[in-house]
Amino acid sequence: MRAVDAAKAHTAVDASRVAVLGGSQGGGLALAVAGLRDDVVAAVADVPFLCHYRRASQITDAGPYAEIARWLSGHRFRIDEAMETLSYFDGVNFAARATAPAWFSVGLMDKICPSSTVFAAYHRYAGPAQIEVFTYNGHEGGAEYDLPRKIAALRGAFGQ
């Protein structure tokens, strides 16, 4: 949120054309900012982390979701309480508030950000959204090979 404020205040930046972009944790944060602000023109969320905690903690033993499962295994009767708390930070809920055009990516073999958690955020996204699926990739998703698609998307969002 503050980074967008700083970018918009900079004299070299056209404040009407600011987008948020990130991968993994940065992708989850891009969703959060897009959901909390109505003044970004686009969002790019590559293999976004921090989405659908309940599902992720049930299907992957990769960290840090494994930490949630480990904690819940010792606190058997606090699952609903824990999931309610985590929902305040869940990219799925931020996506449901976001209206700027968005571009997602997902690696179907990603154990860190399981594809179903990314699809949950994508399907809840309130604005127009597209997703690029990398069938045989993990957490790297499209890596640098996906850069031309993202640049083209941002150019379109900026009206270039």
Out of 57, 90, 105, 110, pick the active-site residue.
110
What's the CA gap between 105 and 123, in Å, rounded?
Answer: 13
Task: Tell me the Ramachandran region of residue 44: left when phi exceeds 0, alpha when psi lies from -120 to 50, beta otherwise.
Answer: beta
Mean pLDDT across 33-41: 98
Query: pTM of the entire structure?
Result: 0.95
Mean pLDDT across 60-68: 91
pLDDT given at position 63: 84
Domains and CATH numbers, the chain: 2-52+90-157 (3.40.50.1820)
What's the CA gap between 139 and 107, in Å, rounded?
Answer: 6
pLDDT given at position 160: 85
Out of 24, 57, 105, 115, pick the active-site residue.
24
Is 24 a catalytic site residue?
Answer: yes
